[in-house]
Amino acid sequence: MIETEKTDYTLCPKFEKAFLILGKKWNGLIIDVLLQDDEQRFVDLAKKIPMLSDRVLTERLRELEREGIVIKANNLYQLTEKGVALSDALESVKNWSHDWVTDEECS
């Protein structure tokens, strides 16, 4: 019998935190809309993500504000420098999805 060595895998706390933010439903889409269309009023964000309720949009925007990813000024939401820095990561996910996610999986 061959013995295998057991290793303990631990997540990097920073990596885990990043996925807690980006993995939360709707956050990636909200960030993507702000990356594409810059400053947005709440009503414009709501129109661009119609399957997202106003209550959840409000909740997610507040969470993203607390994380320093979004800022609200003059009734406009926009990404902070920290939020804009997610552009490359989201672009990589988009590229991956074009290559690996089928149309059937999206229905």
pLDDT at 10: 81
The domain locations on the chain are 15-102
The 3-state DSSP class for residue 79 equals: strand
pLDDT at 4: 66
Cα distance between residue 105 and residue 89, in whole Å: 22
Which DSSP category does 68 fall into?
T
Cα distance between residue 30 and residue 26, in whole Å: 6
DSSP E strands in the chain: the ranges are: 70-73, 76-79
pLDDT at 91: 95
Domain 15-102 architecture:
Orthogonal Bundle (1.10)
Cα distance between residue 21 and residue 61, in whole Å: 12
pLDDT at 60: 98
Give pLDDT tens digits along the chain (107 positions). Answer: 566 677 787 879 999 999 999 999 999 999 999 999 999 999 999 999 999 999 999 999 999 999 999 999 999 999 999 999 999 999 999 999 999 999 999 97
Q: Which residue has the tokens 């980006």?
A: 22
